[in-house]
Amino acid sequence: MTNSKSTHDHGKVHGHHILHNSASNKSTAFTREEREDMGLRGLLPFSISNQDTHQKRALENLRRKAFDIEKYIFLSGLQDRNEKLFYRMVIDNIEEIMPLIYTPTVGQACKEFAHIFRRSQGFYITPDDKGDIRKMLDNWHEDDVKVIVVTDGQRILGLGDLGANGMGIPIGKLALYTACAGIHPHQCLPVMLDVGTNNEEFLNDPLYMGYPHKRLEGQAYLDLVEEFVEAIQDKYPSSLLQFEDFLTPNAYKLLDIYRDKILCFNDDIQGTAAVALSGVIASSRVTGHDFKDLRIMFLGAGSAATGIGDLLLAAFVGQGLSEEEAAKRLWFVDQHGIIVESRDDLMSHNIPYAHDYPQLGFVEAIEAIKPHILIGATGAPGTFTQEVIEAMSKHNERPAIFALSNPTSRAECTAEQAYEWSDGKAIFTSGSPFEAVERNGKTHQPGQGNNAYVFPGIGLGAVACNAKTIDDGMFLAAADALAHQVSRENLDAGTLYPPLSDIRDVSLHIAVAVAEKAYESGVAQSERPTDLTAHIKAMMYEPNY
């Protein structure tokens, strides 16, 4: 945020060092006076350029790259060289660049992280650091950290255990915090809890840079996390901690431990839930169904799916249903069939959604229950088959199909398949982007239900009011605020989300809604400003020279 005190101020560096500091460097945009005052004469070509010229040059270089992974590497290098130019370019070209710095390209970047590594970003903690984590945090170069994204790399997107290579996720998430919600980049801290990996390919790779052991588990794992949380609470007491890409049992366990103690949330559980709920709300404006009457089926019963279910249940209760009535609207299917009471293999987070119902397979369940909305959160591509989409279309004039697994290669079905198999009736949403589909003279525009629509705004709102914790009411407020940013024009094109080009305004609306709810519920610790919208907008970092 713009009032941040940084160790990168111009007054603390000079000449050659200014050009090699990403925060201070603006290359040939330095004026004659600045070149004289800062010891830059002779270090730059004669021409004085501006940021627009720099962006044109950078975009030209980006677009000549043949492969997305090369574009990712180029953008990472630009971020290291010229921070303001990088973020200006991301903001101005968000639809083109977000898929390159986050899903789907970040999945490939994580798989190849050790092989494309150029320069260290972020903070690494291993079991060997037990007892020293607080002391180690003093090595981080910023004192005013507001947002921390942490992963242990065990369940990266739909790609599984990538160990320390998963650092690409916190780096990418925090780039979106800055680009989408204006959190100052120096107030962002990516953290890798490198507790080992069970990925034999990585353990046998001589270029792998992570802790070269099998994963730490059990109480020793929880103790290391506890020390980390205590250390950041001591060093950065007003910071927001976002848990990212933890395996489902650990994701729920850590959220249950810390959600009421510190300012934190799990994006896979709660962020995914908010963006999905928003899409469900928006879909009812297309189908005409009353929200509280919807029947929703999930393929997948892990952290993402049940997180969506939990927030939907809260939303149904908010519409006047009892918890028992609300739970009857939500049906989960895993690889063994419907989640029902007679099963003895359910995890604790599945039990509230286990119905007294016969055991059925996936398509049988669609035929019997006739859901209005189908949500996929499996990480298993191709699981929304033609038979599945046709069954949904048989029972719905406009079936809502949410294929949310990331990256694109893991989506339950493609946009083209959804439109083809539904004869153009489907309202299709995915986690990663799909191109528009032309069919029978009509253009279908898929929605992208990406968490980037919500987590930056939630974080901004929570930080802006200095919230103690984040409760369900704040996620419900975020989902509702996002749904109300969807125009009739968007809906008519078949998309349930606003254009990504509006993401900064969307994040501001979400931040205001989240902060308002925090003040209302008493978890905000700062005094409420007279004009909350103006206050939060003024906090948002603008990456201009």
Are the C-beta atoms of 70 and 155 separated by less than 8 Å? no
Homologous superfamily (CATH) of 453-539 is Malic enzyme, N-terminal domain (3.40.50.10380)
The two tokens of residue 13 are: 């560096």
pLDDT in tens, 162-208: 999 999 999 999 999 999 999 999 999 999 999 999 999 999 999 99
Q: In 3D, which of 429, 445, 436 has the Cα closest to residue 377?
A: 429
Give me the pLDDT at residue 13, please.
Answer: 56
Q: In 3D, which of 195, 182, 117, 119 has the Cα closest to residue 146?
A: 182
Q: In 3D, which of 189, 103, 109 has the Cα closest to residue 149?
A: 189
Alpha-carbon distance of 418 to 413, in angstroms, equals: 7
Give me the pLDDT at residue 158, please.
Answer: 85
Residues (pLDDT < 70) of the chain are 1-13
Give me the pLDDT at residue 9, please.
Answer: 47
Q: Which residue has the tokens 């899903």?
A: 103
The architecture in CATH of the region 50-262 reads 3-Layer(aba) Sandwich (3.40)
pLDDT in tens, 33-73: 999 999 999 999 999 999 999 999 999 999 999 999 999 99
CATH 1.20.1370.30 fits 1-49, yes or no: yes
| Domains 50-262 and 453-539 agree in fold | yes
Domain boundaries of the chain, sorted by first residue: 1-49, 50-262, 270-451, 453-539
**How many CA atoms, within 13 angstroms, populate the side-chain half-sphere of residue 541?**
29
Catalytic residues: 102, 173
Give this prediction's pTM.
0.93
Topology of the domain covering 270-451: Rossmann fold (3.40.50)
Helix (H, G, I), strand (E, B) or coil at 190: strand
